[in-house]
Structure 1
């Protein structure tokens, strides 16, 4: 009699643990789905912002290189490559973010 009662309590405890585990797994699945949709909603604005920053950096860099060129500075090519590299990096980051998360 006592052995059967202990067995029933153990079985009831196992069923309760299994039920709680299933509920937790279902909630974490919903959380992951919600987080994925939220991240995807931020991808386009962030990628557009990064590309816009890259365009502004390109314009500023072009103006600075032009000013250096007009003043006869010998470092024009170095400045051009630095500004062009920064602009290209920012534009590629925006494209890669959109491709990776979009």
Structure 2
């Protein structure tokens, strides 16, 4: 038992050196920051596309005489609004 305990105490410092260092953590944060901003831009582009496509479809339905367009307006608006809010949420979640 004493041998096992002393062996664990001797191997413990070796395990701590095997952990990633500060340089690796900073590199991972830089990689996350660079890929996050491209994802943030993608969210904004998708929000614009949802808004434009929704506006065109609603305008078309309105011109065709369909009366029930309120639900379509809400659906397209909130889809675009969700994409706009997902960027700051992810930024706060990852601390970037």
Which runs of no fewer than 5 residues in structure 1 stay unpaired? 1-6
TM-score (norm 1): 0.72
**Corresponding residue for 1:3?**
none
Cα-Cα RMSD: 2.5
Which runs of no fewer than 5 residues in structure 2 stay unpaired? none
TM-score (norm 2): 0.76
Worse-matched range after superposition: 57-66 or 14-23: 14-23
Aligned residues: 92
Is 2:55 the partner of 1:62? yes
**After TM superposition, which residue ranges in structure 1, 4 or more long, deviate above 6 angstroms?**
none
Checking the alignment, whether the CA contact within 8 Å between 1:44 and 1:98 is kept in structure 2 is no
Larger radius of gyration between Structure 1 and Structure 2 = 1
The structure with higher relative contact order (CA 8 Å, sep 6+) is 1
